[in-house]
């Protein structure tokens, strides 16, 4: 499972908020909702978030093994 909780920690560290992401950087509220609920996002969006926050991917997401993951 991909978990986006590091994104919200990074927001705090960068003195940003979901409000500024939406109103200053034109990130949709539906994307913020997807992040809150650990729903899939595109790599293009991931790239945009890293660029906006000037951070690495590890500061946006973390992989957590989960029983519900697709069987390989």
Give the predicted TM-score (pTM) of the model: 0.89
Beta strand 62-63 pairing with 2-3: antiparallel
May I ask the CATH architecture of the domain 2-63? Answer: Orthogonal Bundle (1.10)
- Residue 72 is predicted with a pLDDT of 76
Distance CA 14, CA 45 (A): 18
What is the predicted pLDDT for the residue at 21? Answer: 97
Indicate if the pLDDT at residue 17 is higher than 80. yes
What is residue 67's predicted lDDT score, i.e. its pLDDT? 78
Residue 2 has pLDDT above 90, yes or no: yes
For 22-71, write each residue's pLDDT tens digit. Answer: 999 999 999 999 999 999 999 999 999 999 999 999 999 999 988 777 77
């Amino acid at each position: 499972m991909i978990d986006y909780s590091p994104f919200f920690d990074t927001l705090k560290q960068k003195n940003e908020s979901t409000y500024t992401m939406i109103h200053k950087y034109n990130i949709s509220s539906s994307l913020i909702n997807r992040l809150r609920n650990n729903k899939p996002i595109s790599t293009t969006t991931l790239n945009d978030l890293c660029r906006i926050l000037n951070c690495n991917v590890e500061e946006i997401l973390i992989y957590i093994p989960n029983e519900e993951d697709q069987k390989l």
